[in-house]
């Protein structure tokens, strides 16, 4: 069976962010799974402008150069893992902006969350589930919630324990099921 293409999106751009070591861990573990072909999308590298295009992305009229490039990149994936911090009981603004910038390319595809924060990023994920469901995505029922993630950090590395690895592996399984199911359904359209 063909590999499922997934994008792992780093949901923070601030200096010293925790999201990057966590995303690096996700990339390392997903690379061990032959069913996936994964790409890291670092929003710090993308530096998408705050959405200010003349047309709502749901119209499919993309006028910005970076918007078009983002659409192509998002459209190439069969599913997503959002590494999501919690900022003031919600998702980070940069992640919301990345979601808002394009529309159809996300749709009918699964989205998984690896979240972190005092309560494991729980409130951020609840918001993300609402937002992504409204964008015709399929947010997964389970998520990886990392509490006290900073204690497992060693510079650029996130030293996950057995529990975190097991939870992430279960998330990959769920993402694979939905990813394959929805890909087949899209191909049958
Ligand atoms: C602007 C801001 C707001 C935050 N608000 C919350 C919050 O409401 N709940 C929480 O659990 N953590 C909160 N935190 C802590 C972050 O979850 C924690 O710093 C996390 O590492 C941020 O992700 P990042 O390092 O990848 O940017 C906040 C951090 C920042 C910078």
Provide the mean pLDDT of the chain: 97
4-187 classified as CATH 3.40.50.360: yes
Q: Is the CB of 86 under 6 A from ligand 1?
A: yes
| d(CA 18, ligand 1 centre) in Å | 9
Q: How confident is the model at residue 22 (pLDDT cuts 50, 70, 90)?
A: very high
The Cα–Cα gap between 117 and 101 comes to: 25
Q: Which protein residue has the closest C-alpha to ligand 1 atom 18?
A: 117
Q: Which protein residue has the closest C-alpha to ligand 1 atom 3?
A: 87
pLDDT of 58: 98
Over residues 60-80, mean pLDDT: 97
The Cα–Cα gap between 3 and 175 comes to: 12
pLDDT of 189: 86
- Does the global pTM surpass 0.75? yes
Is residue 142 pLDDT above 90, yes or no? yes
Q: Is the CB of 120 under 6 A from ligand 1?
A: no
Pocket test for ligand 1, best of 15, 86, 153 (most atoms within 8 A of CB): 86
Q: What is the pLDDT of residues 77-133, one digit of tens each?
A: 999 999 999 999 999 999 999 999 999 999 999 999 999 999 999 999 999 999 999
In 3D space, the residue among 80, 86, 105, 71 whose CA is nearest the CA of residue 30 turns out to be: 80
pLDDT of 1: 83
CA-119 nearest atom, ligand 1: 11
CA-150 nearest atom, ligand 1: 21
Is residue 152 pLDDT above 90, yes or no? yes
Q: Is the CB of 12 under 6 A from ligand 1?
A: yes
Over residues 145-158, mean pLDDT: 96
> Dihedral (C-alpha) 40, 87, 108, 182: value to the nearest 10 degrees?
60
CB of 124 closer than 8 Å to CB of 86: yes
3-state secondary structure of 93: helix
In 3D space, the residue among 6, 53, 60 whose CA is nearest the CA of residue 168 turns out to be: 6
CA-85 nearest atom, ligand 1: 23
């Amino acid at each position: 069976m063909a590999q499922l293409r997934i994008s792992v999106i780093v949901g923070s751009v601030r200096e010293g962010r925790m999201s990057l070591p966590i995303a690096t861990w996700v990339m390392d573990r997903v690379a061990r799974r032959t069913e996936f072909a994964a790409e890291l999308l670092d929003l710090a590298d993308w530096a998408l402008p705050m959405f200010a295009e003349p047309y709502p992305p749901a119209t499919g009229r993309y006028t910005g150069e970076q918007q078009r490039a983002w659409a192509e990149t998002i459209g190439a994936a069969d599913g997503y893992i959002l590494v999501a911090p919690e900022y003031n009981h919600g998702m980070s603004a940069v992640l919301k902006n990345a979601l808002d910038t394009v529309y159809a390319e996300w749709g009918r595809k699964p989205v998984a969350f690896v979240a972190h924060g005092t309560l494991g990023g729980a409130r951020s994920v609840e918001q993300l589930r609402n937002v992504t469901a409204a964008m015709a995505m399929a947010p997964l029922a389970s998520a990886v919630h990392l509490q006290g993630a900073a204690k497992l950090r060693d510079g650029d590395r996130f030293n996950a324990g057995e529990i975190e690895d097991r939870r992430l592996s279960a998330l990959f399984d769920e993402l694979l099921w939905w990813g394959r199911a929805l890909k087949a359904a899209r191909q049958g359209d």
